[in-house]
Structure 1
Amino acid sequence: MHLMDRLNEDLKSALKAKDKKRLAVIRGIKSSLQNEAIKEARELEEEETLLVLNREWKQRKESLHEFEKANRDDLTHEVEQEIKILSEYMPKQLSEEDLDNIVQDTIQEVGASSKSDIGVVMSAVMPKVQGKADGKQVNQLVQKHLT
């Protein structure tokens, strides 16, 4: 099932269940996807959809971090709920071991050997793990293997 179809079905279910939080998150996701499609003036490809979802997820993670720093438990709880709902639409995240294997394989593919090759490795790894791993985590693994 296409993501937009799934969102529409879940939107109907949330309306019927009067689940305001789920409703708000789904509407936000749909809005972001529609805005991106309007910006591109065409239907979004699967990779582009993942980029939008990833952007939404990352924004909420950053908000969560800021709220935790400010000791705003009320807002922290809300954002955690949003992240949980949003995660249902994200592709399954790669395990640390799988991600590490992808990074090592890519380092060998591009022939990287020093820290100066980090950019080359990152640009080769990110398309492989788009939406399935956090860029910070990938960067840390690349740096670890090239040190």
Structure 2
Amino acid sequence: MTILMKIKGDLLAARKSDHQVKKNLLSTLYAETAMLGKNNGNRPVEEITDEETIGVIKKFIKGAEEAHQICETKGRTEQAAIAAQELKILEDYLPAQLSDEFLEQFVKNFLEKSPQQGKQVIGAIMKELKQNYQGQFDGRKVNEIIARLI
């Protein structure tokens, strides 16, 4: 079962249980992900890949994190709580994330073996991670680790 089909099933369950935040979030997430297929070759929903769905989920997570920060700084506790709920819901659809320790060890090993230097090595590390661990890491964390180790 693809991630998108899991989202669809959870959306139906949220509608039945009348869970407002989850229902609204998953409805928007499903619709935006489905639009990927329509906008990209008029593909049916069943042909949308998990990688495409993960990309949309990460975009939603970024938006929810920003909304949470803004609401916290402006003292809007109710909206901040909703954004926190949304983050929790969205993170459940991502594959298990690689630990910081694993990422740091991966970068160290790559730097030891790689003849590349400077910005070229950053691109090479990111390419290797995307090929082997798509959707399982945060690019910002990896960039921080690389900057610290170079």
Q: Distance in 2 between matches of 1:109 and 1:65?
A: 40
Q: Say whether residues 1:81 and 2:85 are aligned partners.
A: yes
Q: Distance in 2 between matches of 1:3 and 1:145?
A: 35
Q: Say whether residues 1:124 and 2:127 are aligned partners.
A: yes
Question: What is the Cα-based RMSD across aligned positions, in Å?
Answer: 2.1
Q: Distance in 2 between matches of 1:67 and 1:122?
A: 35
Contact 1:99 1:138 in 2 (8 A): yes
Q: Distance in 1 between matches of 2:49 and 2:113?
A: 27
Contact 2:114 2:121 in 1 (8 A): no
Q: What's the counterpart of residue 58 of structure 1?
A: 62
Q: Distance in 2 between matches of 1:84 and 1:111?
A: 41
Q: Distance in 2 between matches of 1:8 and 1:136?
A: 29
Deviation of 1:140 (Å): 0.3
Q: Distance in 1 between matches of 2:62 and 2:50?
A: 18
Q: What's the counterpart of residue 46 of structure 1?
A: 50
Q: Distance in 2 between matches of 1:63 and 1:57?
A: 10
Deviation of 1:80 (Å): 0.2
Give CA deviations for 1:10-36 in whole Å, capped at 9, x if unaligned: 122112211111111111210121111
Deviation of 1:110 (Å): 3.5
Q: Distance in 1 between matches of 2:51 and 2:149?
A: 27
Percent sequence identity over matched residues?
23
Question: Residues 143 and 135 from structure 1, CA distance in 2 versus in 1: closer, same or farther, beyond 3 angstroms?
Answer: same
Question: Residues 109 and 27 from structure 1, CA distance in 2 versus in 1: closer, same or farther, beyond 3 angstroms?
Answer: farther
Equivalenced residues, count: 145
SS at match of 2:144: helix
Deviation of 1:103 (Å): 2.0
Q: Distance in 2 between matches of 1:55 and 1:14?
A: 22
Q: What's the counterpart of residue 134 of structure 1?
A: 138
Structure 1: segments with no counterpart, 5+ residues: none
Deviation of 1:8 (Å): 2.0
Q: Distance in 2 between matches of 1:105 and 1:48?
A: 29
